[in-house]
Amino acid sequence: MKPMGPIPPEFAGQQGMLTIGGRAADDLVAEAGSPCFVYDPAIVAARVARFRAALPGVDLHYAMKANPFPPLLAAIAPLVDGIDVASAGELALALTAKPAASISFAGPGKRDAELEAAITAGATLNVESANEARRALAIGDRLGRTPRLAVRVNPDLELKGSGMKMGGRPSPFGIDAEQAAEAVRLIVAGGADWRGFHIFAGSQALDVAAIIETQAATLALAARLAEEAGAAPPLVNLGGGFGVPYFAGDVALDVERIGAALAEGLATRAAILADARFAIELGRWLVAEAGVYLTRVVDRKESRGETFLVVDGGLHHQLAASGNFGTVVRRNYPLAVVGRMGEAASEEVSVVGCLCTPLDRLGDRVALPPAAPGDVIAIFLAGAYGVTASPAAFLGHPLAAELMVGLS
């Protein structure tokens, strides 16, 4: 038997039929079809409320790459101060939900058409290189528009313990800290509206001390770069990286401790940052636990001592749960049999998807109550990096349905 991650608190204590936003999981599958992703915006709203209480005065941006499902985005947009996008496609969607002035666009390799779309709309471009800054300035000139440009910094620090490190090394993301001040001067001299710094050091961190240390170092770096550039940034995006407990042994983040430490750092910040606003940019921490992937068992078979529940979904919808989206060692996400919540596990099974690859394993030798063909399996933590981060076209199976339950 191999352990599973913890079922999110909103679902953990349930008995009998799993409910999501007050609705029975089997009804949701009957409505949407199997497999489907179901999202509960009330869980997102609770995360936002917790952030607001723990980090008062700090702006909250939603990194919509985590989940761009339009109804969910529409529910989140009024709750946050900004939306961070990573493509012209995301920009177009974000503009349906939030004014351009609160949208920022980060990502390497922005094409001219993407720069133009952002400048025309009035969104902020987080420039990833001096070249990109020059191209944006030239496009602004051509359009007769003043581009809103922030400098994305490749920091000389990394977020320790994070699942994905994005600083402290050579990188396609951001301008090396050593050259960031020069980029600010270029932007200001070019007549753009300089919006400040974007400093993103990593993602999926569950180590509170490491997050606190990184935020303090990021604040100090922003002050140093502003001094060097001789310009006060209107906004410092301190990155994010708040992780969620996917696996056995993972413990949810103590964001109140993070907020207390950041408040201290902000209270004693350098004079050049006195008038700056500060933002934290979060994706999965806001939405991962709000989503459940539901997939029906098609077959049950024994093979050389192992029991397999073969489901109609798989890694083509929920790649991350199969361990093939940025994890080094495959571990089990939390799973349940939807009609048997709270029942003691009585057997060891492997839950596998319908793709003909051994990679398509959604639960590896997990302990579950008994399940048979027709039963529905829930895979939790499916609200982030599911549908849009999975190879949906692989093998030509149908797409997963997506459904948002009402705000309860």
Ligand X SMILES: Cc1ncc(COP(=O)(O)O)c(C=O)c1O
Q: By CB under 6 A, name the binding residues for ligand X.
A: 63, 66, 84, 106, 166, 200, 203-204, 240, 281-285, 384
Tell me the CA end-to-end span of the chain in Å, nearest whole number. Answer: 37
Q: Which is nearer to ligand X, 204 or 350 (CB)?
A: 204
* DSSP letters spanning 77-115: GGGSSEEEESSHHHHHHHHTTS-GGGEEE--SS--HHHH
CB of 271 to ligand X, least distance (A): 28
Residue 356 appears among annotated catalytic residues: yes
The answer to whether residues 176 and 155 touch, using CB atoms and an 8 Å cutoff, is no
Q: 127: helix, coil or strand?
A: strand
Packed helices 112-121 and 130-143: angle between N→C axes, nearest 10 degrees = 60
Q: Which is nearer to ligand X, 139 or 280 (CB)?
A: 280
Neighbouring-strand partners of residue 401: 36
Q: Which is nearer to ligand X, 204 or 322 (CB)?
A: 204
CB of 171 to ligand X, least distance (A): 11
CB of 119 to ligand X, least distance (A): 20
Closest C-alpha among 108, 288, 282 to residue 211: 282
Within the chain, what is the greatest distance between any pair of CA atoms? 70
CB of 238 to ligand X, least distance (A): 11
Q: Which is nearer to ligand X, 19 or 204 (CB)?
A: 204
Q: Which is nearer to ligand X, 34 or 203 (CB)?
A: 203
Q: CA torsion, points 364, 367, 373, 374, in degrees to nearest 10?
A: -110
CB of 304 to ligand X, least distance (A): 39
| Residue whose C-beta lies closest to ligand X | 283
Which whole-number Å values give the CA distances from 291 to 10, 66, 379, in the listed order? 11, 11, 9
CB of 249 to ligand X, least distance (A): 19
Q: CA torsion, points 13, 292, 316, 64, in degrees to nearest 10?
A: -130
**Catalytic position from the list 304, 356, 358, 393:** 356
Q: Which is nearer to ligand X, 137 or 279 (CB)?
A: 279
Q: Is the peptide bond before 78 cis (omega within 30 degrees of 0)?
A: no
Q: Which amino acid is at 206?
A: L
The answer to whether residues 335 and 293 touch, using CB atoms and an 8 Å cutoff, is no
Q: CA torsion, points 303, 306, 312, 316, in degrees to nearest 10?
A: -100
Q: Which is nearer to ligand X, 110 or 284 (CB)?
A: 284
Q: How far apart are CA 356 and CA 316, in angstroms?
A: 11
CB of 61 to ligand X, least distance (A): 8
Structure tokens at 348: 């060891």
SS3 content of the chain, % helix, strand, coil (to 5): 35, 25, 40
Please report which residue ranges of 17-81 form alpha helices under DSSP H. Answer: 25-32, 41-54, 70-76
Q: Which is nearer to ligand X, 203 or 295 (CB)?
A: 203
CB of 338 to ligand X, least distance (A): 26
Active site residues: 356
